[in-house]
Amino acid sequence: MTASPVQRRDADSVRVLTIDRPERLNALDRDTLEALDAAFAAAADDPQVRVVVLTGAGPKAFVAGADIAQMAALTPIQAHEFSTLGQRLMRRIERLPKPVIAMVNGYALGGGLELAMACHLRIAADMARLGQPEVNLGLIPGFGGTQRLLRLAGRAAALELCLLGTPIDAARALQLGVVNRVVAAAELEAETMSVAAQLAAAAPLALRGILDAVLAGGECPIEEGLQFETARFGLLFASEDMREGSAAFLEKRKPQFRNR
């Protein structure tokens, strides 16, 4: 049996997914996209999983892009289907009801940056390089890069990265708002797992409400976003976790959230 291109391990309530194609710098081919889609669907459905961390195997790359060797042979119709497959995965990650952290341990180029941007938080090693170099292949980003860069970093940065196709370093990515934190490569895993543990200890229903509200707010007029926020705010008052969090605050103790 062929080994899966996506490896999984659980650390308490944190699920770590590792794209395991280091010999191809973890490039995204069809099998890898489908394996990731299945892995994220399973994480969403597993009540024991509260946070997902996504990274790439090996010392060089998070994901160096789509698999160009496979992609170069596609017909226009097949390319449309490939883009649709990639965008479906990115949308699944973006809409996951649990926080997803991209642990960017190296190159995040093309589809790799698109994959990282679909995650809710991005923590990068200081030696990471990020970019949308598709223009150098006579292409445009196909997994949502133009749209998520626009929303994360603004029009000027989106045009700079997509039009020039030149990768940027992690410090520049932090300045643009493309990543949330930059740490030394030797500290990347510890920092990422520390953030994951903090999220895993938080109230799951509140985290889901935040994820839903921010996503909805980015896709609708502000009045609709505010209404959505108010509805979720009120709904959480019916949860046991809200009562527990309030009681713990008043009693000066650590809350024990139970996802209900």
Q: What is the CATH number of the domain that holds 137?
A: 3.90.226.10
Q: Alpha carbon of 77 to those of 74, 163, 186: distances in Å?
A: 8, 25, 43
Whether residue 62 is found in the same domain as residue 151: yes
The confidence band for 123, taking pLDDT boundaries of 50, 70 and 90, is: very high
Asked if residue 255 belongs to a domain, the reply is no
Q: What percent of the chain has pLDDT over 70?
A: 99
User: What is the spatial order of strands in the sheet that 107-109 belongs to?
Assistant: 61-63, 107-109, 129-131, 168-169
Same domain, 190 and 245: no
Boundary of a domain, candidates 167, 183, 200 = 200
Catalytic residues: 114, 134
227 and 164 housed in the same domain: no
Q: Supply the pLDDT for residue 260.
A: 83
The pLDDT of residue 132 is 97
More confident residue, 217 or 121: 121
Residue 182: domain span? 6-200
- Domain total in the chain: 2
Q: Are residues 176 and 214 in the same domain?
A: no
Amino acid 1: pLDDT: 55
Answer whether residue 257 is part of any domain: no
Any bridge partners for residue 24, and if so which? none
Tell whether 243 is covered by a domain: yes
The CATH number that applies at residue 218 is 1.10.12
